[in-house]
Structure formats: C-alpha cells, structure tokens
Amino acid sequence: MDFADFHFETPWLLAVAAGVALAGLAGLRWTEHRRRLGLAAFAAERLLSRLTAGYSTTRRLSKDLAVTAAIALIGVALAGPRWGVEITEQRATTEDVVFVLDVSKSMLVGDMRPNRLARAKASIANFVRRKGTGSVGLVAFSGQAFLQCPLTRDYDAFFRTLEETDTASIQVPGTDIGRALEEAEAAFAKNRNRKLVLMLTDGEDLEAGGVDAAKKLAREGLVVHSIGVGTPAGGPITVISALGSPDTLKDAGGEEIRSRLDEATLTKVAETTNGRFVRLGQAGEGMEALRLAIQAGTDGTGTTRRGVPREEWFLSLALALIVLESLLSTRRSSSR
C-alpha cells in the first residue's frame, strides 16, 4: 500500500479524540470502583469473595479498554486521515490568479533596475493586461501576509492597489513564505475555475515554512508558480535613512547585509504543487513566458493530486472493537 504524504485534514481533532477517550476510560474505571465499594458495603468480606468468585476484573478491564480504543479510532477517523495520491484530470474554463508579492526590505535591492519590487510590480501589471480574462487578486507579505485585493475582474481597482503596495504596506519585518501561501489559499472562491498562485519573491524564506505550506496547497489542488526576483549574486539592501539619504542595511558587526536570490527554495515550493520556477528577468521575460505557457495550457498543470480518504479503515476497527466488547463476558472461564 502507498503511504505517501500521510497527513490529517484536521489534525487538532486528534487531541480532542485522545482527551475524550482518556476521559471515557477514567469514567468506566471509576464506575467499576464505585460498584465494588457499593458491593463491599452491602456484604461481609467472606460473603463478598463468594459473590464475586465468578467475576473477572481482567475481563472487565479488557471491555473498558475496547470501548476506549473504539472511541479513539472514531476520533482519528473524524480527523480525516489521508495517505496515497489520487490524481484526477482538472477541467476549467478560466483561471483565477492570486499574485503573492514580497514587500520585505530585501526587495529594495538594486540588482534589478530600478529595484526588485518595482520590477516585480511592473511585471504583474503587464501580465494582467495581456491576460485579459479571469479574476485576479493580490497578497502582500513580509514577516506577515495580508490580502490587499480580493479576487476581482475590476482590473483598474487591482492596478490601483498594486501601485499603492510597497515595503510600508506591512510593518512586520522578515520573509514568511508559508504564511503568504496560506493567505493566498484563503483568497480563492469555491468554484470550478483553475486556481493559480503566482509568487514573486527573492526566495529568502526566513521562517522556513514555504515548502510545508505548499504541500497543503497541493492537497487542495492549487498550483504555485514561483517567480524569482533578483540575481544569485544579489546586492546590498538600500533604504532611506531618517535624514532622507540612501543607506545600506548592516548587521551587528557593521557589515553590509546582502540579499541573494534563493532559487533552491523557490524551485522546491513550485515543484511541490506541480508548478514551475522561472527567473523574472530584467525585462520580465520569465513572467511573460509563464503567461504564454498558462494561456496555451502547457505549463504542466492538467491534473489535481489529492490525498486518498482512509476513514473507513479506522471506523471498521472501531466497529470491530464495539462488537468484541459486546461479546466479551465478565465471567471467569472457570469458577471455583
């Protein structure tokens, strides 16, 4: 059996199931304890041993454990166990595209003219103008991520939002690709349209959650195309100082902080969702090549990969334990 990509749809239910099962076991054992105390108060000690000669405490415990295990297995089933991969053909009339734009300070590096952020915004605008159909949305991220423009066909409103988005849009420093992808997933409507995420970033995932988030999106049938903004050589991060003059960011030792394009991370994020990685390029040629591939349907995304539901395995075991508990007697196999 293929156990690839083992996961739970709602893993928090596992903790609930464990708590309920343990509470149930504690309740059953307390009931048994109260039963024995009541019997001891009713009969003398010598008579009590004769009355309980045919009663097996071990079998009582076995029945309680069977009920407890059945409750736990039902909880596991409710958590949505998945393993294996189910591939289905995806048919859609149009694409909904959410652009995920990095607005961290590293996007101010000048290894692309005038800087990475300006070049990325220009490429997004050019993509939308030439695409011409479907809904588009915008998520901006740095150390946090927020939906700047919900999915819309009002391109003028989208362009206004894109123009206003800059490094001041999000005050939390850093680069959290995982959070950005989660925000992009939440932006999509539940429809039959093909759903694409186009992420423009230098790839420096400081929180290291991008690949895990991409796995979650892949299970939902979303495709992430990564567009690398910048160059592997990189450059210093230039900001405007309090005096209004350009200055470069420095570390604690006084050395200039250089930001470089992380192609390895972006490639892994894209491949996880059956997408592709491209370099943006100084003239935006990578973005244009990706647009043409999407338009022609040759971007390698004609199928959806989903985890196979496996709830029936755990429900079957739970049912078997319930039946076993009902058949198991508390009488000893032989009494004296």
Claim to verify: residue 183 and residue 251 sit in the same structural domain: yes
The 10s digit of each residue's pLDDT in 111-159 is 998 999 999 999 999 999 998 788 999 999 999 999 999 999 999 999 9
The helix or strand, by DSSP H or E, that contains position 290, with its residue range, turns out to be helix 285-296
Claim to verify: residue 109 and residue 31 sit in the same structural domain: no
Identify whether 159 is part of a domain.
yes
Identify whether 148 is part of a domain.
yes
- Tell me the H-state helices in 175-253: 177-187, 210-219
pLDDT of residue 52: 66
Structural domain boundaries, residue 133: 91-301
Q: How far is CA 130 from CA 45, 82, 294, in A?
A: 91, 40, 12
Identify whether 332 is part of a domain.
no
Three-state SS for 101?
Answer: strand
Which residue carries 């894109």 as its tokens? 162
Residue closest to 48 by CA, chosen among 37, 40, 57: 40
Claim to verify: residue 153 and residue 266 sit in the same structural domain: yes
- The values of phi and psi at residue 303, to 5°, are -135, 160
Claim to verify: residue 317 and residue 286 sit in the same structural domain: no
Claim to verify: residue 276 and residue 195 sit in the same structural domain: yes
Claim to verify: residue 249 and residue 216 sit in the same structural domain: yes
Please determine, for residue 301, whether its predicted confidence score (pLDDT) is greater than 80: no
The 10s digit of each residue's pLDDT in 146-204 is 999 999 999 999 999 999 999 999 989 888 999 999 999 999 988 778 889 999 999 87
- Compare 209 and 156 and report the one with higher pLDDT: 156
Provide the CATH number for the domain around residue 114.
Answer: 3.40.50.410
Question: Hey, what's the torsion of the CAs at 172, 173, 176, 181, to 10 degrees?
Answer: 50
Identify whether 56 is part of a domain.
yes
Q: How far is CA 53 from CA 33, 44, 232, in A?
A: 17, 14, 81
pLDDT of residue 302: 47
pLDDT of residue 72: 93
How many domains is the chain partitioned into structurally? Answer: 2
Claim to verify: residue 55 and residue 19 sit in the same structural domain: yes
Average pLDDT on 202-221 reads 83
- Compare 182 and 249 and report the one with higher pLDDT: 182
Claim to verify: residue 181 and residue 279 sit in the same structural domain: yes
Of 121-135, 206-220, 278-292, give the lowest mean pLDDT range: 206-220
Claim to verify: residue 276 and residue 133 sit in the same structural domain: yes
Claim to verify: residue 196 and residue 267 sit in the same structural domain: yes
The 10s digit of each residue's pLDDT in 66-76 is 999 999 999 99
Identify whether 183 is part of a domain.
yes
The 10s digit of each residue's pLDDT in 11-21 is 888 999 999 99
Mean pLDDT of the chain: 85
Identify whether 335 is part of a domain.
no
Identify whether 333 is part of a domain.
no
pLDDT of residue 249: 78
pLDDT of residue 86: 62
Claim to verify: residue 121 and residue 201 sit in the same structural domain: yes
Please determine, for residue 102, whether its predicted confidence score (pLDDT) is greater than 50: yes
pLDDT of residue 87: 55
Claim to verify: residue 217 and residue 256 sit in the same structural domain: yes
Please determine, for residue 335, whether its predicted confidence score (pLDDT) is greater than 60: no
